[in-house]
Structure 1
Amino acid sequence: MKESIIYFSIKIFGGFVRLLPLNAALFLGRCIGVLVYYFDTKHKAIAYANLKMAFSKEKSSHEIKKITKKLFMNYGENLMELLRMPLLDKTKYEDYVQIEGKENVGKGLEQKNGAILLAMHFGSWEMASLACAMLDYPYKVIVKPQTKYSKLDDLLNSYRACGGNVVLSRGMGTRDLIKSLKNN
Structure 2
Amino acid sequence: MLYKFVKIISSIVSMLPQAVRLNIGNLLGEVCWLLVPSKRKTMAVNNIKRSLDADTIQATTIAKRSATRFGRMFMEVLYMPKLSKDNISKYVQIENSQYLKDALSYGNGVIMATAHSGNWELFGAALAMYGFPVVGVAQKQTNADMDRFMIETRTMAGMHITYKSGVREMVKMLGEGRIVGLLMDQDAGRDGVMVEFFGRLASTPQGAAALARMKDAPIIPAFITANADGTHKAILHPPVWVQKTSSREDDILSTTQQLTDIVEQHVRKYPHEWFWLHNRWKHSPNK
The TM-score with structure 2 as length reference comes to 0.57
Contact 2:44–2:63 under 8 Å retained in 1: no
Shift of 1:183: 2.8
Partner of 2:155: 161
Partner of 2:139: 144
Pair 1:38 & 2:31 matched:
no
Q: Could you say what secondary structure the match of 1:90 adopts?
A: coil
The TM-score with structure 1 as length reference comes to 0.86
RMSD over equivalenced CA pairs, Å: 1.9
Pair 1:91 & 2:86 matched:
yes
Shift of 1:177: 1.4
Q: What is the aligned residue count?
A: 176
Structure 1 residues 54, 17: CA separation in 2 closer, same or farther (over 3 Å shift)?
A: same
Q: Which has the higher helix share?
A: 1
Shift of 1:54: 4.7
Q: Could you say what secondary structure the match of 2:137 adopts?
A: strand
Partner of 2:97: 102
Pair 1:53 & 2:36 matched:
no
The superposition leaves residues 112-165 of structure 1 with CA deviations (integer Å, 9 ceiling, x where unpaired) of: 132222232221212211111012111011111112x11111012211221101
The superposition leaves residues 29-62 of structure 1 with CA deviations (integer Å, 9 ceiling, x where unpaired) of: 1211110110232xx6436524532542511122
Partner of 2:172: 179
Contact 1:85–1:162 under 8 Å retained in 2: no
Q: Could you say what secondary structure the match of 1:69 adopts?
A: helix
User: Could you tell me how far apart the structure 2 residues matched to 1:179 and 1:101 are?
Assistant: 27
Partner of 1:117: 112
Which of 140, 164, 170 pairs up with 2:164?
A: 170
User: Could you tell me how far apart the structure 1 residues matched to 2:42 and 2:150 are?
Assistant: 27
> What is the correspondence of 1:6-17 to structure 2 with a 5 Å cutoff?
6-17=2-13
Partner of 2:283: none
User: Could you tell me how far apart the structure 2 residues matched to 1:47 and 1:142 are?
Assistant: 28
Q: Read off the aligned partner of 1:36 and give its amino acid letter.
A: C
> What is the correspondence of 1:56-95 to structure 2 with a 5 Å cutoff?
56=50, 58-95=53-90
Structure 1 residues 75, 156: CA separation in 2 closer, same or farther (over 3 Å shift)?
A: same
Gaps in structure 1 of 5+ consecutive residues: none
Pair 1:26 & 2:19 matched:
no
User: Could you tell me how far apart the structure 2 residues matched to 1:119 and 1:66 are?
Assistant: 24
Moved over 6 A (4+): none
Q: Read off the aligned partner of 1:110 and give its amino acid letter.
A: S
Structure 1 residues 54, 65: CA separation in 2 closer, same or farther (over 3 Å shift)?
A: closer
